[in-house]
Chains A and B, each alone.
Chain A
């Protein structure tokens, strides 16, 4: 039995293209697998194929998922694909297969009454691939929520709010809409320090992503061409107000604790240590 391995680019577009190409093979789905990036251990009797990201194919797959499997499944899949895990492509592919093989909700007859419709695919946690997508999506969603909670902006001299983050999953696209809605009249930048992705939000405007380029991110916001240096922490000039308010908050943070109830374990459970290095109130310890 011949096995096919499609090697996709590690992106939403790359993996959706992979799913499209996997269907094009017209082989039983058990024999087709998706993987991301370089394969380390090549298997015998398996065919490896490179899969080039293609926007039209990806859009078709995205539309099919959204329409046939529903918004919940689509969002879960997007979240799962933000994960750094290597098996995400395979899990998503097999979840799509599982979803499309379910009854369409428009069907009639006795069967539809009992069998769940396609929109219910994420409920089928018995299926190991669906469960894996569920797990990955939950991790991303949780981490995104942690960032909504624990992200800290610092005000630069020119009034821009700057927040560095270092998430395990690629959560930036899931958190920016929240802040764009919350702070519509602020210029702010959220910087994923691990992936070198910047989300820029000009006051009163739409937010957008800039990747890789370390230059000119704040030129876009201020129209100021003077600075163009890379963003390392010591190069930041924070505003006077910033010092005052970060001190006020740190002080508040310490006085609000009830010493008779001190409980470091609980604090650690609720606020994992890895977030603390970006948080104002834990600086200078």
Chain B
């Protein structure tokens, strides 16, 4: 590996490997050429003149950053959480357990890490991906030094929390991993960067590379891409479920083994201390919400993932195998999946409780927790001053923080509805499901139709309502309301 550090001048020209290019000589480039091209660089230290590296001027950094951040933006994961590490005073950086977002882009998503691809050249042809081989898009690659400089300079100005490095497949998965490794190694050792690093493990790469990279990175992720193996087969012909799960399993085992090592040797180097995550695309293939939740649940249980990300399918390519989405990306569906994901991770729910074969999709009008509560009214109302934590956590309108505060506050005396309001409980949703000292807030019927109608009457605050409008206009007429709740009950 050390021998590789001579190769820092790797700059593959824009469009050097466009297969569907109008320039005949470029379209003839094969994989072998790329490898020999890289070898030439290795030996000479400079790019060979003519041939495929026919570019005159090196691409300006601004343009590279534009291309390679534009290509990376469909990766959802941006969290910088999971590991608390103080700086050692000899370099730059620390990490915070809760993670720190540094900005929010125009789509409202957080910018925490410098999210870039090493290169957007790719030998794969996944139908949903903007960087697929058959797309005619400008191509660029960073050098490890450029990545290090950008990271450090952004970091010291407090623009970012660290680096998220992914890549298209250049040459082979192992070659790509080596390039990523080189950049990350340099950043950690030469620049003494101690901030957060999230790297992609490329499926099919040498396990030894994954192991070494894991010792430098805080978080690693392998993208599941699509919830089921069939979906993967249709849309990503070069990828195989088996290849994706293998590095995931390897990282999981590495983390477990590393925990044991650290228990014995306190200063043993840590392996992927912030855990691993994955993401899947929602709405490109016909899976139901139930299937997706079952997959997520088994990833959490069997692979001990920290996070599963759901990414509403954004149509970037025209392809007969891809669905047309005239209404834009399925944001509401994505939102419901995240709500359910939180219920799995923090509220003690199981996927089987929320959905079933008979009811495979989430209710459009109600969040999954309220939906569950309405189907289990026999468990309500809950007495706030008596019920245990897990029961309180299942009440709609009460979140993790409110539940914890309730448990703590009721040790000093009985709580009433006024106190709950101060604690932060959303009473307009919770009031149908709770009692304080044996009394409900108002005389209400504990009856599915009645509560459903009232809950739907409350405008749910969805994160993607543009300009404060809901997906439903308020109406003066009652039949509209009536129709909505009937629909909600039947679904």
Residues of A in contact with B (beta carbons under 8 Å apart): 114-116, 120, 123-127, 131, 148-155, 161, 163, 178-179, 181-186, 204, 241, 245-249, 251-267, 269-271, 279-281
How far, in Å, is A18 (CB) from chain B's closest CB?
A: 26
Question: Is the beta-carbon distance between A125 and B405 smaller than 8 angstroms?
Answer: yes
Other-chain residue from A153, A263, A267 in contact with B156 (beta carbon distance below 8 A): A153
Question: Is the beta-carbon distance between B70 and A255 smaller than 8 angstroms?
Answer: yes
- Bound Cα distance A175, B409 (Å): 29
Q: In chain B between 296 and 322, which residues have their CB closer than 8 angstroms to a CB of chain A?
A: 312, 314-315
Question: Is the beta-carbon distance between A265 and B405 smaller than 8 angstroms?
Answer: no
Residues in chain A near residue B96, CB distance under 8 A: 178
Question: Is the beta-carbon distance between B107 and A258 smaller than 8 angstroms?
Answer: yes
Other-chain residue from B62, B409, B415, B467 in contact with A247 (beta carbon distance below 8 A): B62
Question: Is the beta-carbon distance between B157 and A249 smaller than 8 angstroms?
Answer: yes
B486 within 8 A of A: no
Given A126-B409, A184-B87, A257-B73, list of 19 further CB < 8 A pairs? Answer: A120-B412, A124-B409, A125-B422, A126-B412, A151-B158, A178-B94, A178-B96, A182-B92, A184-B90, A186-B156, A253-B111, A258-B109, A261-B109, A261-B464, A265-B465, A265-B468, A267-B107, A270-B104, A280-B159
Question: Is the beta-carbon distance between A252 and B412 smaller than 8 angstroms?
Answer: no
Question: Is the beta-carbon distance between B150 and A123 smaller than 8 angstroms?
Answer: no
- Bound Cα distance A181, B84 (Å): 12
Task: Bits for B133-168, please: 1 = Cβ < 8 Å to A, else 0.
Answer: 000000000000000001001101111000000000
Question: Is the beta-carbon distance between B412 and A279 smaller than 8 angstroms?
Answer: no
Other-chain residue from A114, A246, A255, A267 in contact with B104 (beta carbon distance below 8 A): A267
* Max chain A C-beta neighbours (<10 A), residue from B89, B108, B153, B465: B108
Question: Is the beta-carbon distance between A126 and B413 smaller than 8 angstroms?
Answer: yes
Other-chain residue from B92, B107, B409 in contact with A257 (beta carbon distance below 8 A): B107
Other-chain residue from A123, A185, A252 in contact with B91 (beta carbon distance below 8 A): A185
Question: Is the beta-carbon distance between A256 and B111 smaller than 8 angstroms?
Answer: yes
Q: In chain B between 445 and 491, which residues have their CB closer than 8 angstroms to a CB of chain A?
A: 463-468
- Bound Cα distance A153, B159 (Å): 8
Task: Bits for B101-125, please: 1 = Cβ < 8 Å to A, else 0.
Answer: 1111111111100110000000000
Residues in chain A near residue B158, CB distance under 8 A: 151-153, 163, 179
- Bound Cα distance A149, B110 (Å): 11
B329 within 8 A of A: yes
Residues in chain B near residue A261, CB distance under 8 A: 107-109, 312, 314, 329, 331, 464
Known: A154-B157, A251-B66, A258-B107. A264 touches B413 (CB 8 A): no
How far, in Å, is A130 (CB) from chain B's closest CB?
A: 9
B245 within 8 A of A: no
- Of all chain B residues, the one with the shortest Cβ separation from A204 is B89
Known: A123-B405, A131-B422, A152-B158. A245 touches B106 (CB 8 A): no
Residues of B in contact with A (beta carbons under 8 Å apart): 61-62, 65-66, 69-70, 72-74, 86-87, 89-94, 96, 100-111, 114-115, 150, 153-154, 156-159, 195, 312, 314-315, 328-329, 331, 405, 408-409, 411-413, 415, 419, 422-423, 463-468
Other-chain residue from B92, B314, B411, B467 in contact with A264 (beta carbon distance below 8 A): B467
- Of all chain B residues, the one with the shortest Cβ separation from A261 is B107
- Bound Cα distance A241, B152 (Å): 13
Question: Is the beta-carbon distance between A266 and B108 smaller than 8 angstroms?
Answer: yes
Known: A182-B94, A248-B62, A267-B106. A120 touches B111 (CB 8 A): no
How far, in Å, is B469 (CB) from chain A's closest CB?
A: 9
Question: Is the beta-carbon distance between B154 and A249 smaller than 8 angstroms?
Answer: yes
How far, in Å, is A277 (CB) from chain B's closest CB?
A: 14
* Max chain A C-beta neighbours (<10 A), residue from B93, B101, B158: B158
- Bound Cα distance A255, B69 (Å): 7
Question: Is the beta-carbon distance between A271 and B104 smaller than 8 angstroms?
Answer: yes
How far, in Å, is A78 (CB) from chain B's closest CB?
A: 20
- 20 intermolecular pairs with C-beta atoms under 8 Å apart: A124-B411, A124-B412, A125-B423, A126-B415, A148-B100, A150-B103, A155-B157, A204-B89, A241-B153, A245-B153, A251-B66, A252-B66, A255-B73, A257-B105, A259-B107, A261-B329, A263-B108, A266-B107, A267-B107, A280-B157
Residues in chain B near residue A241, CB distance under 8 A: 153
- Of all chain A residues, the one with the shortest Cβ separation from B424 is A125
How far, in Å, is A285 (CB) from chain B's closest CB?
A: 12
- Of all chain B residues, the one with the shortest Cβ separation from A151 is B158
Other-chain residue from A116, A245, A259, A271 in contact with B412 (beta carbon distance below 8 A): A116
Other-chain residue from B66, B102, B105, B315 in contact with A267 (beta carbon distance below 8 A): B105
How far, in Å, is A41 (CB) from chain B's closest CB?
A: 27
Other-chain residue from B66, B156, B405 in contact with A183 (beta carbon distance below 8 A): B156
